[in-house]
């Protein structure tokens, strides 16, 4: 971690993730053992989501908010030279143990995805699955990802769909079919004082706000996917299966860094 103090939300998220890292060990071990990636809360197959290039030989890749590090492992197995960063020391402890057990060469570092200690334009590919994608301020981490990428490099990320955020009750209860929050001005979701599963500060934006942010940061959008639960009885975390079957629970953005001259 650099000497710079973390912003308040990042310090809270480090504390929150340190405190529950033990609950993520088993899923981390399963995902490290799997050679075929699946994505998001409902395990969408890789051929539907395509979050990673099939062949990453010779690429430099960075995972922003790597948690237990299995996405970094999948990239390393596809041939990339990988840096995984996370703000939680406890999540990184699991990631480092699994890296060593699986014998992969991945550079795992305790840093915030909002301020990465890497020079400009050093990476071909950046990815986040529920890491920076939801836990970092998008107005900070999206420009930071753009800075890290070479011109033409790609950023792919997966997180909650903003509709799921708007349909989350104010006390943190599971998502339902009521619009509980404003779409307009959506940005920060502070879960520290809710009744249900308190802790952490999340971020999300409406679709137009995401689009404007990408453009301003120098990205073009190559694809935007909305993910659903295949089985309406399959409840995951705070999103009931019936809801995710009918409405988009998750989104994937695929962006390309525009060369300076274009």
Ligand X SMILES: C[S@@+](CC[C@H](N)C(=O)[O-])C[C@H]1O[C@@H](n2cnc3c(N)ncnc32)[C@H](O)[C@@H]1O
Residues that bind ligand X (CB under 6 A): 10, 13, 17, 24, 65, 67, 71, 85-88, 91, 112-114, 129-132, 135-136
CB-nearer residue toward ligand X: 131 or 162: 131
User: Which region, left, alpha or beta, applies to residue 180 given φ > 0 means left and ψ of -120 to 50 means alpha?
Assistant: alpha
- How far from each other are the two terminal CA atoms of the chain, in whole angstroms? 35
For residue 2, give both structure tokens: 């650099």
E strands along the chain, which residues? 38-39, 44-45, 60-64, 81-86, 106-110, 123-129, 149-160, 188-190, 201-203, 219-227, 250-257
Whole-number minimum distance, CB 7 to ligand X, in Å? 8
Whole-number minimum distance, CB 59 to ligand X, in Å? 19
CB-nearer residue toward ligand X: 195 or 237: 237
CB-nearer residue toward ligand X: 59 or 87: 87
Whole-number minimum distance, CB 63 to ligand X, in Å? 8
Whole-number minimum distance, CB 1 to ligand X, in Å? 10
Whole-number minimum distance, CB 207 to ligand X, in Å? 22
Q: Which residue has its beta carbon closest to ligand X?
A: 67
Which residues have a Cβ under 8 Å from the Cβ of 110 and sit 6 or more positions away? 1, 85, 86, 87, 88, 89, 92
CB-nearer residue toward ligand X: 234 or 258: 234
CB-nearer residue toward ligand X: 71 or 82: 71
Distances (CA, A) of 8 to 5, 109, 137: 9, 20, 11
As a residue count, the chain comes to 262
């Amino acid at each position: 971690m650099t000497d710079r103090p973390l912003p308040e939300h990042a310090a809270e998220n480090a504390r929150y993730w340190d405190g529950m890292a033990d609950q993520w060990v088993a899923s981390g071990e399963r995902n490290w053992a799997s050679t075929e990636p699946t994505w998001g809360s409902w395990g969408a197959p890789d051929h539907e989501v395509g979050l990673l290039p099939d062949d990453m030989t010779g690429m430099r890749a960075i995972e922003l908010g790597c948690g237990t590090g299995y996405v970094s492992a999948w990239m390393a197995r596809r041939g990339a030279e990988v840096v995984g960063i996370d703000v939680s020391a406890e999540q990184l402890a699991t990631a480092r143990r699994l890296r060593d057990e699986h014998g992969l060469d991945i550079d795992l570092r305790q840093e915030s995805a909002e301020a990465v200690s890497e020079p400009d334009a050093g990476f071909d590919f950046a990815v986040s699955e529920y890491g920076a994608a939801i836990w970092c301020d998008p107005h900070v981490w999206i420009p930071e990802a753009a800075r890290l990428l070479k011109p033409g490099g790609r950023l792919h990320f997966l997180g909650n769909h903003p509709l799921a955020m708007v349909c989350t009750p104010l006390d943190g209860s599971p998502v339902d079919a009521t619009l509980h929050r404003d779409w307009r001005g959506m940005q920060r979701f502070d879960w520290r004082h809710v009744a249900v599963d308190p802790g952490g500060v999340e971020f999300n934006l409406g679709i137009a706000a995401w689009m404007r942010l990408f453009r301003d940061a120098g990205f073009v959008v190559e694809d935007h996917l909305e993910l659903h639960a295949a089985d309406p009885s399959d409840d995951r975390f705070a999103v009931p299966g019936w809801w995710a079957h009918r409405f988009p629970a998750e989104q994937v953005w695929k962006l390309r860094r525009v060369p300076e001259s274009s």
